[in-house]
């Protein structure tokens, strides 16, 4: 039960951090390019890579705290970091074809899913 509570608390913190970064960036950057989201996604990738590198195969951090940081805080901050880590893991395991399918599938299918959702929303108005 503690694991679930820590993940939820971490998710709330990550969401607040994401909003703070995006608001901060929007005050100094033109809105024509989503720089805030890009910075959130890239910093989330650096952070999840750092955590994975620090704690890979190590029992030095209890599972519930590792999940609170990775799934909770970084999941609330940006799920793109999980996508980056999963893609890297596939490449690191030399599963290049699987990695390329995952990246292309996520991006292309993700855009198509947004388009579909948009069209469904328009039709429901």
Radius of gyration of the CA atoms of the chain, in A: 17
- pLDDT in the model for residue 61: 80
| Verdict on whether the full-model pTM lies above 0.85 | no
Distances in Å between the Cα of 79 and the Cα atoms of 27, 97, 119 are 24, 22, 24
Q: Is the pLDDT of residue 54 over 90?
A: no
Q: Where are the domains of the chain?
A: 2-77
Q: Rounded CA gap, 10 and 14, in Å?
A: 6
Cα(119)–Cα(47) distance, integer angstroms: 35
Cα separation, 73 vs 56, in Å, equals 18
Q: What integer pLDDT is reported at residue 46 of this predicted model?
A: 93
């Amino acid at each position: 039960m503690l694991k679930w509570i820590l993940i939820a608390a971490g998710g709330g913190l990550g969401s607040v951090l994401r909003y703070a970064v995006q608001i901060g960036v929007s005050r100094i950057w033109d809105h024509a390019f989503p720089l805030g989201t890009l910075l959130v996604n890239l910093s989330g990738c650096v952070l999840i890579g750092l955590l994975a590198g620090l704690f890979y195969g190590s029992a030095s951090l209890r599972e519930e705290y590792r999940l609170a940081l990775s799934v909770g805080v970084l999941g609330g901050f940006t799920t793109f970091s999980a996508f980056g880590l999963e893609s890297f893991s596939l490449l690191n395991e030399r599963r290049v074809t699987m990695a390329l399918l995952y990246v292309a599938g996520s991006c292309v299918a993700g855009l198509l899913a947004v388009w579909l959702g948009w069209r469904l929303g328009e039709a429901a108005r």
